[in-house]
Amino acid sequence: LEQGLRKVVESGCAGLEMRYQPIFDAQRLVPVGAEVLLRWQDGDDWVSPAEFIPVAEDSGMIVDIGAWQLGQVLQQLSEWDQQGHTQFYLSLNISAVQLARDGVAQRLLDMLELHALDRSRVVVEITETTLMGVTRQVEDNLTRLESSGVRLSIDDFGTGYSSLGYLRELDASYLKIDRSFVIGIGNRDSDEEIVLAMLALAKSLNMKVVAEGVDTNEQLQFLRQHGCDLIQGFLLSRPVTAAEIPPLLVGE
């Protein structure tokens, strides 16, 4: 896997593609943004990011992949912007390995400026795991982003170990409830109580909540009723290609 991935990176990331999973306003049920998800087509096979992202991280290749990806998605966002979708945002997964590099935040800010895109058009998703081993460099990058108007989102919330202290330090704008809790809505009281507690916590910290992996109408109704702000999941949309995004934004 690592050798194959190295060839991909050396060839300018041929074989890597982006998918975009729309994130919907919970009340209006229209897409307001999308999470960028990487896909790798290796010959005839699609390799799952759950497999190749850890390899890319451990080998450091995620740095080159991330730099390539940033160029691609900002170009894409700029095209949508020119088509009149001037509020639509992209939510990018950035791993600890990337954030541990000097100047990552500045590069993102420079690229936004190059494309004349407002800083509010990009959200950076970080996992609790990223935050656990936080170094000075990671912290500098995150502070730089946040103080410049690029919003931060805590991904997979509830599955890590350290969350609460960082919630206080970070000033993130979004909290993403991990799919494993959303799955329990409608069939596990404890999961419902945890989701309600997360919604209350986020509200008291002035954060918006994104529920991930919303698969059923029952989950959607529960989340809407209890004030969840944003919805992501197969019920409303799977990850789609870039070409499929504009038609979804018609009633935006």
User: Segment near ligand G (CB under 6 A), from 30-38, 99-107, 109-117, 190-198?
Assistant: 30-38
Query: Which amino acid appears at position 43 of this protein?
Result: G
49 scored as a contact of ligand G (CB under 6 A): yes
User: Which of residues 93 and 141 has its CB atom nearest to Mn ion in the complex?
Assistant: 93
Exactly one of 1, 32, 53, 55 binds ligand G (CB under 6 A); which one? 53
141 scored as a contact of ligand G (CB under 6 A): no
Exactly one of 43, 44, 45, 50 binds ligand G (CB under 6 A); which one? 50
**Looking up tokens 């600890």, which residue turns up?**
96
Exactly one of 26, 93, 121, 163 binds ligand G (CB under 6 A); which one? 93
User: Which of residues 93 and 98 has its CB atom nearest to Mn ion in the complex?
Assistant: 93
| Alpha-carbon distance values, 31 to 115, 209, 220, 223 (Å) | 22, 15, 15, 16
**What is the rounded CA–CA span in Å between residue 70 and residue 244?**
20
Exactly one of 74, 212, 222, 245 binds ligand G (CB under 6 A); which one? 212
User: Segment near Na ion (CB under 5 A), from 100-108, 136-144, 187-195, 209-217?
Assistant: 209-217
Residues 160 and 129 sit within 8 Å (Cβ to Cβ) = yes
Exactly one of 63, 81, 151, 155 binds ligand G (CB under 6 A); which one? 155
User: Which of residues 98 and 117 has its CB atom nearest to Na ion in the complex?
Assistant: 98
**What is the rounded CA–CA span in Å between residue 171 and residue 29?**
27
Residue 142 CB, shortest distance to ligand G, in Å, is: 15
User: Segment near ligand G (CB under 6 A), from 22-30, 46-54, 74-82, 243-251?
Assistant: 46-54
In degrees rounded to 5, what are phi and psi of residue 36? -85, 125
In degrees rounded to 5, what are phi and psi of residue 214? -75, 115
Exactly one of 17, 118, 146, 215 binds ligand G (CB under 6 A); which one? 215
Query: Which amino acid appears at position 161 of this protein?
Result: Y
Burial class (CB within 10 angstroms; exposed 0-12, middle 13-18, buried 19+) of 68:
middle
Query: Which amino acid appears at position 150 of this protein?
Result: V
DSSP string, 133-197: T--HHHHHHHHHHHHHT-EEEEEEETSSS-HHHHHHHH--SEEEE-HHHHTTTTT-HHHHHHHHH
Exactly one of 35, 125, 128, 156 binds Na ion (CB under 5 A); which one? 156
Binding string, residues 156-185; x marks residues near ligand G by CB under 6 A: x-----------------------------
Instruction: Kindly list the residues in this chain that would bind Mn ion in the complex (CB under 5 A).
Output: 93, 125, 155
Instruction: Kindly list the residues in this chain that would bind Na ion in the complex (CB under 5 A).
Output: 156, 212
